[in-house]
Amino acid sequence: MDFTYHVEGGDFTNAGSTSSEVKRMLKKLGVSPDIVKRTVVALYEAEVNIVAHAYRGDINVDLEEDKIRIVLADEGPGIPNVEWAMQKGNSTASPKVREMGFGAGMGLPNIQNNSDELHIQTEVGKGTTIELVNYFNK
């Protein structure tokens, strides 16, 4: 099964609606609650990152028998230094994002901690693509 969702940058009202839908889907499929939680926490952080930092993006969710693969591709400023951004506490978030309870430099480390596989491709001035994979039977 393959689904694609669109996310608009700056749209904090709907931030998390894709994660919510994916959570419902995984629960319905009977995926174990621990794996559902890890997946949606990683996805939610990544979805909020698009809303917080990018102009727009697409989230593609590919559900296979043994795993879920999620690709979040955004058009945005990109990440100049991924290694720096992966360190807890480092953030370029705006005050608006901080008012929403994010932007403390925990998003990417949180995504990493809740994904079995994580790949980040980014180009400054163009955008970022994050691919995360979680396996159902570990």
Partner 1 sequence: MTIEEVAALVQGEIVCGDSFKGREVAFVFASDLMSDVLTIRDTDNLLLLTGLSNLQSIRTCEMSDIQMIVVVRDKAVTDEMLELAEENDMIIVKTKYSMYKTAGILYGAGIPPIY
* C-alpha dihedral (82, 56, 98, 20), degrees to nearest 10: -100
Which two structure tokens, joined as six digits, stand for 47?
């979805």
The minimum distance between CB 1 and partner 1, in angstroms, equals 21
Residues 105-134 that bind partner 1 (CB under 8 A): 106-107, 110, 113
d(CA 109, CA 112): 5
CA distance 40 to 90: 22
Min. distance of Cβ 57 from partner 1 in angstroms? 17
13-52 residues in contact with partner 1 (CB under 8 A) are: 13, 15-16, 19-20, 23, 33, 37, 40-41, 44-45, 48
| 100 counts as binding partner 1 under rule CB under 8 A | yes
Instruction: Provide, rounded to whole angstroms, the least separation between the CB of residue 125 and partner 1.
Output: 26
Which position among 8, 10, 12, 62 is part of the footprint of partner 1 (CB under 8 A)? 12
Question: What is the rounded distance in angstroms from the CA atom of residue 72 to the CA atom of residue 90?
Answer: 21
CA distance 58 to 107: 18
Which of residues 1, 2, 65, 101 is near partner 1 by CB under 8 A? 101
Q: Does 89 bind partner 1 (CB under 8 A)?
A: no
